[in-house]
């Protein structure tokens, strides 16, 4: 199968094809996800919690991200590799973001970088995309702002906040973002944003009407069942193997059976 590219994801949105994405942090899982047929693998700064045992993503360094991104990229032949820019490696200036993003691409093999934030990050997104670096935005629950948000809470339930998120999404698109992750926002709001954008939306806890879905790999394999949020489904349960669980996830995303209304926020 052909390599997944930025234009490929945009074509999938135009044709109404759902985009499946999962996180990975190492070579072996990357090969498994690639074989299962996911369109994109996110090397998330969630590795700070999943791999390193921190209570948040904030301690993750740029070198941590480059190391894990390179391991993932070595295991991938088809899926797109997206890597997070970690906390305080892009917020200072567009120039800082350029150096950090360039490092993730040169040393980490990343093909797209992801950053958190709305309108305030638009100049940075534009600066990067004008220099050949594809950027995925991230709105809603932005984990790097966990202390400002007061914890891992659903965003956009208030009208003013919902309007702000819709405006942020449009501004990021105008700045050149190739996609945007919508995390922990009401399904109706995510649906509205998805309809207004020409770039793909990738939901995590944002309902079934996003153009694609992403979950943390260890969550969808049931390794965090005791603390799993409502939008997580254990795909290993009932499938019997990791490979079958991954393929079941891809199928469920593509046919729209994941997430359900009970796995979304109202």
Kindly list the catalytic residues. Answer: 183
Q: Are 75 and 34 in contact (CB under 8 A)?
A: yes
Q: What is the number of other CB atoms lying within 10 angstroms of the CB of residue 262? A: 8
Distance CA 144, CA 162 (A): 20
Longest dimension (CA), the chain: 49
Distance CA 88, CA 257 (A): 37
Distance CA 228, CA 258 (A): 16
């Amino acid at each position: 199968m052909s390599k997944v590219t930025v234009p490929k994801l945009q074509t999938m949105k135009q044709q109404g094809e759902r985009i499946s994405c999962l996180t990975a942090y190492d070579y072996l899982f990357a090969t498994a996800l690639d074989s299962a047929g996911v369109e994109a693998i996110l090397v998330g700064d969630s590795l700070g919690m999943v791999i390193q045992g921190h209570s948040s993503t904030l301690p993750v360094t740029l070198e941590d991200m480059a190391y894990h991104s390179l391991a993932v990229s070595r295991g991938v032949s088809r899926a797109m590799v997206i890597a997070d820019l970690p906390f305080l490696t892009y917020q200072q200036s567009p120039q800082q973001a350029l150096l950090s993003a360039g490092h993730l691409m040169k040393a980490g093999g990343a093909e797209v970088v992801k950053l958190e934030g709305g309108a305030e990050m638009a100049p940075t997104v534009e600066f990067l995309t004008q220099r050949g670096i594809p950027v995925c935005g991230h709105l809603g629950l932005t984990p790097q702002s966990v202390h400002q948000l007061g914890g891992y809470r659903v965003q956009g339930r208030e009208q003013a906040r919902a309007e702000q998120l819709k405006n942020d999404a449009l501004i990021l698109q105008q700045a050149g973002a190739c996609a945007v992750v919508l995390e922990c926002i009401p399904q109706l709001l995510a649906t509205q944003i998805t309809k207004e954008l020409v770039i793909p939306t990738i939901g995590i806890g944002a309902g079934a009407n996003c153009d694609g879905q992403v979950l943390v790999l260890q969550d969808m394999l049931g390794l965090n069942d005791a603390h799993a949020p409502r939008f997580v489904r254990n795909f290993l349960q009932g499938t019997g193997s990791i490979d079958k669980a991954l393929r079941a996830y891809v199928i469920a995303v593509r046919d729209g059976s994941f997430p359900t209304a009970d796995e979304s926020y109202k």
